[in-house]
Structure 1
Amino acid sequence: MYLMLRAHAVYLVDFACFRTKPNCRVPFAMFLEHSHVWPGFDERSVWFMTWLLERSGLREMCLPYVQHYIPPSCDLESSRSVAELIIFFAIDDLLTKTGRRERA
């Protein structure tokens, strides 16, 4: 019972972050302007995003290609392509940093 309930140690070997291409960067003003016309964002959501972005200290943010259009593409294929881009980039970068190879 002790072996099942004891805390297991977790070690951080390395980490990786997704770094996007410069053409995905969007100024906050443009993002906030677009957020007013995007479906699914009410005034309270836009206010909260504005409040958060003003306090973040960043000057621009990165958005996936599908959210650069008005209205943004909300289909499954676009969402999948964004997820694959981010996840695969981060995993490949992490495997490169740690010197591991992918398993076949």
Structure 2
Amino acid sequence: MEYDKKPNPPTKPASVKDSPENTTNTIPNYNLKTVRLKYVKLGYHYLITNTMYLLLIPLAGVLSLHLSTLSVKDILQLWNHLNFNVSQLIVCLQLIIFIATLYFASHPRKVYLVNFACFKPDPTLMCSREDVIDRCRQVGSFTEESLAFKRKILEKSGFGQKTYFPPSIMKIPQNRSWMEARKEAKMVMFGAIDELLAKTGIKTQDIGILV
């Protein structure tokens, strides 16, 4: 006898949950020691800069509480006592002057930017990367391998196609002497300073400190 075999119902595959090893951790991995050290430095900076306030606020609070308990009669009696004790009055005034001087001396003065100037060389000193390689080839001191390495450095170090080079390097043959280096420094520094003085209208005699 033949029996009809019923097909088994299709079974759904069991869903497999991602294991912790397969899941990617999206939380950035911060170095706790670095973060803690950063906050320690920040707290130390605020502590040093606000030391005067931290010392004066409790003193002012205690003094205000003590003065609130005094009556008018006590204040008049204290004033008469100070009139008869000039030395104590002088010491108190000196202490107040010392604290005020210490506060203003430790408080940094504000510095304002009036104007600025950037030195821009002559357009004849503008040079592209290809011109630099050509001048290095004309010098005759570099091999093709060295020129290829120099070309790679120029491409990856941020030199644009309108970069300014000093005259000592642009000349053929190159003149790398102390005199040329001095001329280059003089050209850059004096050029920027002259432009800045022309913008602000300040005379050199009025400048007390140069940083």
Confirm or deny: 8 A CA contact 1:34 1:70 kept in the other structure: yes
Q: Distance in 2 between matches of 1:75 and 1:5?
A: 47
> What runs of 5+ residues in structure 2 fail to find an aligned partner?
1-48, 50-101, 207-211
CA deviations 1:16-65 (Å, max 9, x no partner) are 111111111111221244457697xx78x733332023xx6x42111111
Residue 51 of structure 1: aligned partner = 156
RMSD: 3.4
Q: Distance in 2 between matches of 1:6 and 1:35?
A: 54
Q: Distance in 1 between matches of 2:192 and 2:181?
A: 17
> What runs of 5+ residues in structure 1 fail to find an aligned partner?
none
Q: Distance in 1 between matches of 2:172 and 2:179?
A: 17
The TM-score normalised by the length of structure 2 is 0.38
Q: Does 1:16 align with 2:117?
A: yes
SS of the residue corresponding to residue 103 of structure 1 reads helix
Q: Does 1:92 align with 2:194?
A: yes
Q: Distance in 2 between matches of 1:17 and 1:33?
A: 29
Q: Does 1:30 align with 2:135?
A: no
Greater relative CO, 1 or 2 (CA 8 Å, sep 6+): 1
Greater Rg by CA: 2
Confirm or deny: 8 A CA contact 1:38 1:71 kept in the other structure: no
Q: Distance in 2 between matches of 1:38 and 1:94?
A: 41
SS of the residue corresponding to residue 100 of structure 1 reads coil
Q: Distance in 2 between matches of 1:75 and 1:90?
A: 23
Q: Distance in 1 between matches of 2:106 and 2:133?
A: 48
> How many residues matched?
99
